Structure 1
Amino acid sequence: MKSNNILYIAIALALFNSGCKKALDLKQQGVYTSDNYFRNETDAINAVSGIYSLLEEEDYIGHAESTFDTPSDDYWRSGDHGEDEAIENLTYDASNPAIRYPYKWRYEEINRSTNCIINIPKITAISADIKNRSLGEAYFLRAFGYWRSMLIHGDVPIITDEDYAKQLFNVPKSPIEEVRKQIESDLLKAVDLLPESYGPSDRGRVSKGTALGLLTKLYMYWEKLPEAIATGQKVISNPHYALATNYADNFTRANENSTELLFSIQALQNVVQNDFTVYYIPRPWGGYGFSQPLQGLANEFEAGDPRKQATLLAVGDIIDIGLVSTRQTVFTADLSATGFAFRKYAVFNPPSGTNDGGVDHTFAVPLLRSADIYLLVAEALIRTQGAGAGDALINQIRHRASASLKPVSGAGMKELIHERRVELAGEGERHQDLMRWDKKNIVDIAAIYNLPVSKAPVDQSKTITFVRPKNYYFPLPQQEIDKSKGVLVQNPNFK
């Protein structure tokens, strides 16, 4: 998608060749609406590129969505966004800006996707392959918008194609069961329409494996474990979605071509800034210094697990941040209040001549990896067939990390939970994982969130009070409730 720099915008071209004419004499040119924009293959491709462009939004996937993982026991929110403190401590209310920011962008993604779903089929000057691919992308991206809305809020509005055609956007919430069915329907259509893989010119586009991967996650959250196993196996068995040779390869510039990245945020140096990585990088290195890992996460890694070094920067570690003056920079205590930062997002360009390199904005940030699907299927096998049923998949993940890691045998949920924590650290899964496990009495999230950890170099004990069922979902933004004039009803635990 990086090859398409024309994103979803209304293009207004003003011709001023006859500058002496009065304004009223000028004929308006290049005004596009949904009715006249979708004319040919290029228009379809550009419209879909405009959906992808939303992933770069700082108040959406670029940063705001990651805020919802800050209550977890993996890291401290850090940063200078005061509203994030209430999210981390679960003391928020419906007026919290962090809840409001991404809500509109999710529905912008849903609306742009629906616009493509309605109008691309009407195009005649388009190849069948591009038409199918474009529709598949739109169905997936719409599903992803609903997926994020459902995870965060539970019951949310569904804007149907008929609603969109009537420009009817002020609709009541649908029960979470209906939202899940909507996501499932869109993902199944995406699976049918999307190609298995792409060539270099189209890297970053979602594939059949992307849709199957998200569908697997949906079934896990839906507690449809047999369906999750069957769907996830289609990802695991397909070489197009094979694990990267080395764990750390997922967090380098080279990962743009990785088969493991089912879905990622794409950016382009000096064209589109990738805010996601910037938020994780220490301020003196050109970042914002948010989401600093806690000692408890560092303690979770086994001795000899190279994923620890690939994931975390600790005091005394050396990293190349692309400085002309010194190619090897030491991570010092003043760079983090917890003593750690996420190395997996600290990707830098090498210097060019006498110029420093700086933050790498072409690094593809993973949003969904095949490793996640391996572990979800392993979990579903354990929960349906008993301890040991997921050993083979867990051991594939462990062996990829290091051949010296002891294989699991007879692994149950304890081992599975450990593996997900260290494999996916900092990738936005921990808080949601703990909540879904808590709902099934597999873990006690309230106890976990009050578990003391090492106080060095600062007090890293979280004293968060998790209230069931209130904190399983966040409230709808109060601003949206007010704008709806009674159509939207707040989640019952926040009235």
Structure 2
Amino acid sequence: MKDIKFKPKKIAKLLFVALLILGTACSDIEDLQPATSISVDTAFETENAVISSLNAAYDPLQWQQILGNQTFPLMAQGTRADDCHSQSASFWAIGAQWDQFNTIIPSLPAVASLWAKWYRGVSRANFTIELASNYENFETPGLQDQIVSEARFLRGLYYFELVKLWGGVPLFEEAVTSTDQEIFKPRASASEVYAFIEADLQAAAAILPIKGSERVQGSATSGAALGLLTKVYLYQEKWSEAVNAADQVMAQGVYSLESDFRNNFLQTTEFGPESLFEINYQDGLSATGPGTTQEGSAMWRWSFPFLSGTYPSFNNFIPRQDLVDFFDDSDQRKATTFLLPGQVLNSPGLAALNFDPVPDNFGYAIGVNTGAKKYFLTFEEVQVLLGPPSSPLNEKVLRYADVLLMHAEASIMGGGGDGATSFQQILDRAYGPGNPAAPTYTVQGVRDERRRELATEGWNRFTDLVRWDAVDGGGVIAPALAAVGKTDFVAPRDLLLPIPQQEIDTYPAGMLEQNPGY
């Protein structure tokens, strides 16, 4: 890396340039304004100011809208796949577009917004890495390496979202801080992007502390880096490497399954023993950047059945009946994942203020009578919100259960290790020991449990189907989609998202190639 002396006036200029150049559709640049004003007399003169740059690199995880389009990960995973309807009726245009393949086209603004979300994260992480690597006035021992390692974890996470959704993408390996630098790059191959991600996560895992010793609650840890690295290996069918990475997570001895599955999705048990990495939300905070909105999690409001007054919410991300029926009634995860008829949701005496217990029929046009419960807030929790769209409930990105399932899968695919024991932990928690309803340790059994365990969380379903389709040589994703009536899926086109047309048009002619079939 070139030697850069970060002086206050130069930093203010570099931050402005870095945030504008990368991570947004170039056609929107003229409409953007700096996210914050920076005093050139004090910018980045203290280590706390450098930490503020790192905090900005975490921010994109919370962005739920860019340039007017929602960017919930669940849209590109559960809704695009076979887990969720976009809504109870066709009133949400963006949701409906993600719910059918013939509307997911290169000119779709929602695809461009999702692309921009992750590239803005890359841009901010790159800037933090360069800033912290060259800052000379750290006073806290080890803080420089800590900041760089957290930023490398985030950059690895953001590129992982890009490569699993789009395949090979342009690879920006350092901060773009000047228009004199190369701002247009051709697509790297998927293998090149994965190699870059691996290097970032390996480096981060070697420096970051274990859970319990993190810089602040919610910041990246070595366990989070190793857990994500396990998934990166799994997506490349590197079975032995995935087993090894998962083994390292387990060997840290700081993670375990919650005995009660519900505890993964309650405010009172956030950052629990099962959490490797989660998006940390607080009610009442709102920030805006270039074309973005950010606040407490809006997932509760978008996932909960509409009730005027008491619950200012919408009928979106509705679990499909096929998914509900996929759970055995003895599976404790079923009552946590879905709103089920007869469930009592709130404290006694509040039935007049909301629907409690859950009715037998919501009256949905789609013929499903349920809701996604993992983001549910009780009436008492909603009543004290400072902002109705905001929820302080965190969203899980990576749980220990995911690591155990990945370990079990990589092991049974030939990666070595004791995957059967990992799988049994998942079964014992879900069904109870000795329950004949629990599946056996087979490839299909692991895949089925992965769907059940992670249902509606928003990070895995569609791309799990894609990678299993590749492992099996076809015959996985098309039948799964057809089973819920999605007959407009076309392979290989719909295995990946289209590169946004506005990005292709902004690049030099012929430089940014489109994905096949679009």
**TM-score if structure 2 supplies the norm length?**
0.81
CA distance in 1, matches of 2:70, 2:385: 27
The answer to whether the Cα contact below 8 Å between 2:283 and 2:385 also exists between their aligned partners in 1 is no
Distance 1:308 1:354, change over 3 A: closer
User: SS of the counterpart of 2:74?
Assistant: helix
Return the match for 1:111 from 123, 135, 143.
123
2:244 corresponds to which residue? 230
Task: Answer yes or no: is 1:179 the counterpart of 2:193.
Answer: yes
**1:74-130 superposed Cα distances (whole Å, 9 cap, x missing partner):** 121117332433432211210112211111121111011011100112222331332
Structure with higher RCO (Cα < 8 A, 6+ apart) = 2
Task: Answer yes or no: is 1:71 the counterpart of 2:80.
Answer: yes
CA distance in 1, matches of 2:248, 2:157: 19
How do 1:253-292 residues align onto structure 2 when only pairs under 5 Å count? 253-271=267-285, 272-284=295-307, 285-292=311-318
Return the match for 1:47 from 38, 50, 53.
53
Distance 1:84 1:349, change over 3 A: closer
Residue 157 of structure 1: how far off its partner (Å)? 0.5
Q: Tell me the number of residue pairs that the alignment of Structure 1 and Structure 2 aligns.
A: 458
The answer to whether the Cα contact below 8 Å between 2:351 and 2:357 also exists between their aligned partners in 1 is no
The answer to whether the Cα contact below 8 Å between 1:266 and 1:364 also exists between their aligned partners in 2 is yes
The answer to whether the Cα contact below 8 Å between 1:47 and 1:116 also exists between their aligned partners in 2 is yes
252-261 vs 107-116, greater mean Cα deviation: 252-261
The answer to whether the Cα contact below 8 Å between 2:165 and 2:463 also exists between their aligned partners in 1 is no
1:334 corresponds to which residue? 362
2:290 corresponds to which residue? none
Residue 348 of structure 1: how far off its partner (Å)? 3.3
Task: Answer yes or no: is 1:122 the counterpart of 2:134.
Answer: yes
Return the match for 1:190 from 204, 213, 227.
204
112-121 vs 440-449, greater mean Cα deviation: 440-449
CA distance in 1, matches of 2:332, 2:490: 36
The answer to whether the Cα contact below 8 Å between 1:438 and 1:445 also exists between their aligned partners in 2 is yes
Residue 54 of structure 1: how far off its partner (Å)? 1.5
2:161 corresponds to which residue? 148
The answer to whether the Cα contact below 8 Å between 1:281 and 1:290 also exists between their aligned partners in 2 is yes
**TM-score if structure 1 supplies the norm length?**
0.84
The root-mean-square deviation of aligned C-alpha atoms, in Å, is 3.1
How do 1:197-212 residues align onto structure 2 when only pairs under 5 Å count? 197-198=211-212, 202-212=216-226
The answer to whether the Cα contact below 8 Å between 1:389 and 1:410 also exists between their aligned partners in 2 is no
Letter in 2 for 1:99: V
Task: Answer yes or no: is 1:469 the counterpart of 2:486.
Answer: no
Task: Answer yes or no: is 1:422 the counterpart of 2:448.
Answer: no
Task: Answer yes or no: is 1:381 the counterpart of 2:387.
Answer: no
The answer to whether the Cα contact below 8 Å between 2:100 and 2:488 also exists between their aligned partners in 1 is yes
The answer to whether the Cα contact below 8 Å between 2:86 and 2:98 also exists between their aligned partners in 1 is no
Letter in 2 for 1:125: F
CA distance in 2, matches of 1:487, 1:276: 39
The answer to whether the Cα contact below 8 Å between 1:281 and 1:342 also exists between their aligned partners in 2 is yes
151-160 vs 335-344, greater mean Cα deviation: 335-344
Letter in 2 for 1:317: Q
CA distance in 2, matches of 1:148, 1:491: 18
Where structure 1 has 5 or more consecutive residues not aligned to the other structure, the ranges are 1-8, 11-29, 452-460
User: SS of the counterpart of 1:291?
Assistant: strand
Where structure 2 has 5 or more consecutive residues not aligned to the other structure, the ranges are 1-14, 17-36, 286-294
Residue 334 of structure 1: how far off its partner (Å)? 2.9
The answer to whether the Cα contact below 8 Å between 2:271 and 2:278 also exists between their aligned partners in 1 is no
2:99 corresponds to which residue? 88
How do 1:54-65 residues align onto structure 2 when only pairs under 5 Å count? 54-59=60-65, 63-65=71-73
User: SS of the counterpart of 2:371?
Assistant: strand
The answer to whether the Cα contact below 8 Å between 2:71 and 2:113 also exists between their aligned partners in 1 is no
Return the match for 1:316 from 342, 366, 387.
342
CA distance in 2, matches of 1:73, 1:164: 42
Letter in 1 for 2:324: A
